[in-house]
Structure 1
Amino acid sequence: MQAIIAFILVFGSIVFFHELGHFIFAKRSGILVREFAIGFGPKILGIKRGETLYTIRLLPMGGYVRMAGEDMDTVELQPGYRIGFLLNDADEITRVVLNQNKQLPDMLFLEVEKADLLKGLWIEGYDEDEKLVRYSVARDAIIEENNQQTIIAPYDRTFNAKSLPKRTMTIFAGPLFNFILAVIFFSIIAFVQGIPTNDAVIANVVKDSPAQVAGVQKDDLVVAANGTAVKKWEQLSEVIQENAGKEITLDVKRDGEIKTVKVTPESKTVNKEKIGQIGIQYGIEYKKDPLMAIPYGFEQTYTFMVRIVEILGTLVTGSFTLDSLSGPVGIYKATEEVAKYGFMTLMSWAAMLSINLGIMNLLPLPALDGGRLLFFAYEAVRGKPIDKQKEGIIHFVGFALLMLLMIAVTWNDIQKFFF
């Protein structure tokens, strides 16, 4: 149960924040958002608030924000349709009922001749007296069919009607919010747990090692090596490794006093290279500094972004395999292990996953945010967008291939962990 809760918290938070980025910038751009979904597939839970349906769906493979104009969701009233409708005080149609057998108070009827529910917002047809009439349609009119209600989307409220910068920012906001979430998580960790100092603090001294023989003790803080100030553990490690068989001088701080010891690193062969070792182990110390928590959050986020991009470089070299990828099952098993080490470790894991999701979504592949941004870049250079039908086909094929890859990765995870 603990693993399930941990997985829901981790996966749910990073997907929610990703889609929240799309949602907020879509709303700020004036785009009609039809649905905010966590997961894919059959709906488990749905709540309608305003013009948006908020849902949780069965398959935990991501989420989506469905915006008007993206999925060819414009309702078309063909000539010959017989519709029922309601009017407001300004004689504007506020509700169109396509079910001929449904009756509502004050409902009027019309046989459609022509209609424009996108730009002109009007319906023209023959009334009960067979007289040709035209009615304006309210911008928030509802179309009802088979008890399903859909708000019409005037053209200026569709995704494609917005300027290129607004569309770009709406799509880029998803990955951006993943990076912001990582900054928040790392900042919280730094605020609660403290910031690793990376000081050259000795956590342990190996018995009978050159360090113990020379008088180095546990909890000593090395402040200088061979007369050069030591600020980080890496500096001390570098001096020791470069002086195999040569005596070095260490200034250590112990009980508030500075003591000087001389030690000769042993020569060890590591990866066919001779390096010096004195038999000491690194100890992480944390320093609580609330003012540095947020800068630390940005620093850690940037560090992991660079690492993940370097790993993705294996896609170019071809040195990655299917085993190096993980789907929901692999993430669940990893989250199960991480959760054993406490909430702070789980939060750090969530931050890294959030960065990973953000970067993966920025890859210039169809069906991903990066693929859509690539089309926007093409539009900016060409001066006009690519044909929407062609773009739709490319995204559909990309999505299908992505789902096949996800199925393969998930099956590989199942075999790896359960067989």
Structure 2
Amino acid sequence: MNTVIAFIFMFGLLVFIHEFGHLIFAKRAGMLAREFAIGFGPKIFAFTKNETVYTIRLLPIGGYVRVAGEDPEIIDLKPGHHIGLEFNESGKVNKIIVNNKSKHPNARVIEVERVDLDHDLIIEGYEIDEQDEKLRFDVDSKAYFVMDERETQIAPYDRQFASKTPGQRAMQLFAGPMMNFLLAIFIFLILGIIQGVPTEEARLGEIQPGSPAEEAGFQSSDEVIQIEGNAVSTWEEFTTIVRANPGQELNMTVLRDGQSEAVTVIPGEVIVEGPEGEETIGQIGVYQAFEKSILGTFKYGITQTYDTTSLILTNLGMLITGQYSIDMLSGPVGIYDATDQVVQTGFMNFLMWTAILSINLGVINLVPLPALDGGRLLFVGVELIRGKPMEPEKEGIFHFVGFAFLMLLMIIVTWNDIQRLFL
């Protein structure tokens, strides 16, 4: 149960923060954000506030912000359509009844001749059975379509995604990944405040019970200064040597209470998945020491985010070049299983895991693939180079194909997760 709650909290937080970035910058740019959704598929919960419908949907595989103009409008009035009109106190149309007009006895029913809800905001037409006089009606900029008794706000061109400057559109697209990076920095700052920041020198923190380090006589706060007669000054140097020598005796010198002590340890052999398959590394069962520092905490938040981003980009490059197999990717099932393991190790590690996944979500969304934020940013860049936007039909096909590819990839990855767990 703890894992289920943790996973739902983590997934909801990561998706909420990502989509919140898109939403805020869409509204700042004056775009009409029709829906803010967590998940895909059928609605579980929904409410409307300030023009936007907020929904929670059944399938926990992402989320989205639906901005007017990014997709074709659902309702398109054509000449010859019979519609009902209701008016506000200023005499402007504030409701356009598309069907079920009998349920709106006060609506004025007309036959449409011309509609412009993008720029001029007018509807022209004739009274039913009275084709002599053409009528012209001004439409309120926040009028609603009413179809099957469901209201959908109209989107004049100045409220649509395409009407904004390339800079505004690019910022709205980039805002989601940006918020994931900011969330990661914030989480790392919290970790730094609560538990301190890792020391740069090779100073030991917690010693795992029953580990090679405990058997060799290492103690918490020991600082490793030499290995096999070679000076060691950083934690990275220390761990690199240990990892490279599984099962090999290592003679180390540590500083303990200001005195040098000689310690001999044999790193345990641990099998891990590497770029070329399984490999064996050495581990002695120690954690890095932590220290409290205000300046160090801020530095830690930024450097950890940067280092994690660099590592993810490196692994992504290895995947593209074929050094990593697609079988090594994990989907929701694999992430749930990993979350279950992390939850068992404590709340601090769970926070660290959440920060790493937030960075991963930000990086993946910036990959220039169709249907991802990076793919849409690519089209904004192409527009700046060409001096004009890509035709909406071509861009729509491009993103549709990309979305289908991503869904296929998700199915493959999920199947691989299931095989690893149950087969």
Report the TM-score range of the alignment, normalised by the length of the smaller protein: 0.7 to 0.9
Q: Which moved more, 1:128-137 or 1:151-160?
A: 128-137
Report whether the alignment pairs 1:298 with 2:298. no
Q: Which moved more, 1:384-393 or 1:285-294?
A: 285-294
The 8 Å contact of residues 200 and 236 in structure 1, kept in 2 or not, is answered as yes
Within 1, Cα distance between the matches of 2:264 and 2:224?
Answer: 18
**Residue-by-residue CA offset, 1:351-401 (whole Å, 9 max, x unaligned):** 111111111111111111111111111111111111110010011011011
SS at match of 1:102: helix
* Equivalent residue letter for 2:219: K
Within 2, Cα distance between the matches of 1:280 and 1:135?
Answer: 79
The 8 Å contact of residues 319 and 326 in structure 2, kept in 1 or not, is answered as no
Once the two structures are aligned, what percentage of the paired residues are identical?
47
In the TM superposition, residue 37 of structure 1 has moved relative to its aligned partner by 0.5
Using a 3 Å threshold, how does the CA distance of structure 1 residues 138 and 293 change in structure 2: closer, same or farther?
Answer: same
The 8 Å contact of residues 100 and 147 in structure 2, kept in 1 or not, is answered as no
Using a 3 Å threshold, how does the CA distance of structure 1 residues 284 and 126 change in structure 2: closer, same or farther?
Answer: same
Within 2, Cα distance between the matches of 1:79 and 1:374?
Answer: 37
Within 1, Cα distance between the matches of 2:265 and 2:101?
Answer: 92
* Equivalent residue letter for 2:3: A
Q: Which moved more, 1:193-202 or 1:347-356?
A: 193-202
In the alignment, which residue of structure 1 is the partner of 2:396?
392
The 8 Å contact of residues 202 and 281 in structure 1, kept in 2 or not, is answered as no
Q: Which moved more, 1:311-320 or 1:186-195?
A: 311-320
Counterpart mapping for 1:10-89 below 5 A: 10-73=10-73, 75-89=75-89
The 8 Å contact of residues 200 and 282 in structure 1, kept in 2 or not, is answered as no
The 8 Å contact of residues 47 and 54 in structure 2, kept in 1 or not, is answered as yes
Within 1, Cα distance between the matches of 2:14 and 2:115?
Answer: 43
Within 1, Cα distance between the matches of 2:80 and 2:72?
Answer: 22
* Equivalent residue letter for 1:151: Q
In the TM superposition, residue 10 of structure 1 has moved relative to its aligned partner by 1.1
* Equivalent residue letter for 2:20: L
SS at match of 1:344: helix
In the alignment, which residue of structure 2 is the partner of 1:114?
114
**Residue-by-residue CA offset, 1:5-42 (whole Å, 9 max, x unaligned):** 11101111111111111111101100000000011111
Within 2, Cα distance between the matches of 1:238 and 1:112?
Answer: 75
In the alignment, which residue of structure 2 is the partner of 1:276?
none
Out of 399, 403, 407, the residue aligned to residue 403 of structure 1 is: 407
**Residue-by-residue CA offset, 1:279-324 (whole Å, 9 max, x unaligned):** 9875522212344323211111111001111111112321222321
Out of 344, 347, 360, the residue aligned to residue 348 of structure 2 is: 344
In the alignment, which residue of structure 2 is the partner of 1:354?
358
Report whether the alignment pairs 1:413 with 2:417. yes
Report whether the alignment pairs 1:368 with 2:372. yes
Within 1, Cα distance between the matches of 2:47 and 2:4?
Answer: 24
Using a 3 Å threshold, how does the CA distance of structure 1 residues 259 and 418 change in structure 2: closer, same or farther?
Answer: closer
Using a 3 Å threshold, how does the CA distance of structure 1 residues 220 and 56 change in structure 2: closer, same or farther?
Answer: closer
In the TM superposition, residue 4 of structure 1 has moved relative to its aligned partner by 1.1
* Equivalent residue letter for 2:172: T
The 8 Å contact of residues 223 and 253 in structure 1, kept in 2 or not, is answered as no
Within 2, Cα distance between the matches of 1:97 and 1:41?
Answer: 27
SS at match of 2:102: coil
Within 1, Cα distance between the matches of 2:94 and 2:256?
Answer: 79
Within 1, Cα distance between the matches of 2:421 and 2:320?
Answer: 28
The 8 Å contact of residues 75 and 117 in structure 1, kept in 2 or not, is answered as no
Within 2, Cα distance between the matches of 1:281 and 1:332?
Answer: 26
* Equivalent residue letter for 1:127: E
Q: What is the aligned length? A: 400
In the TM superposition, residue 231 of structure 1 has moved relative to its aligned partner by 5.0
Using a 3 Å threshold, how does the CA distance of structure 1 residues 315 and 113 change in structure 2: closer, same or farther?
Answer: same
Within 2, Cα distance between the matches of 1:66 and 1:405?
Answer: 23
Using a 3 Å threshold, how does the CA distance of structure 1 residues 103 and 355 change in structure 2: closer, same or farther?
Answer: same
Using a 3 Å threshold, how does the CA distance of structure 1 residues 9 and 109 change in structure 2: closer, same or farther?
Answer: same
Q: Which moved more, 1:8-17 or 1:126-135?
A: 126-135
* Equivalent residue letter for 1:218: Q
SS at match of 1:384: coil
Within 2, Cα distance between the matches of 1:217 and 1:326?
Answer: 37
Within 2, Cα distance between the matches of 1:220 and 1:40?
Answer: 49
The 8 Å contact of residues 190 and 293 in structure 1, kept in 2 or not, is answered as yes
In the alignment, which residue of structure 2 is the partner of 1:195?
197
In the TM superposition, residue 173 of structure 1 has moved relative to its aligned partner by 0.8
Using a 3 Å threshold, how does the CA distance of structure 1 residues 70 and 344 change in structure 2: closer, same or farther?
Answer: same
Q: Which moved more, 1:302-311 or 1:91-100?
A: 91-100
Using a 3 Å threshold, how does the CA distance of structure 1 residues 202 and 24 change in structure 2: closer, same or farther?
Answer: closer
SS at match of 2:288: coil
* Equivalent residue letter for 1:48: T
SS at match of 1:364: coil
In the alignment, which residue of structure 1 is the partner of 2:155?
153
In the alignment, which residue of structure 2 is the partner of 1:378?
382
The 8 Å contact of residues 225 and 239 in structure 1, kept in 2 or not, is answered as no
Out of 167, 173, 176, the residue aligned to residue 174 of structure 1 is: 176
Report whether the alignment pairs 1:252 with 2:252. no
Relative to the length of structure 2, the TM-score reads: 0.85
Within 1, Cα distance between the matches of 2:4 and 2:296?
Answer: 33
**Structure 2: 5+ residue runs without aligned partners?**
245-250, 267-282
The 8 Å contact of residues 202 and 225 in structure 2, kept in 1 or not, is answered as no
In the TM superposition, residue 229 of structure 1 has moved relative to its aligned partner by 9.0
In the alignment, which residue of structure 2 is the partner of 1:98?
98
Using a 3 Å threshold, how does the CA distance of structure 1 residues 295 and 89 change in structure 2: closer, same or farther?
Answer: same
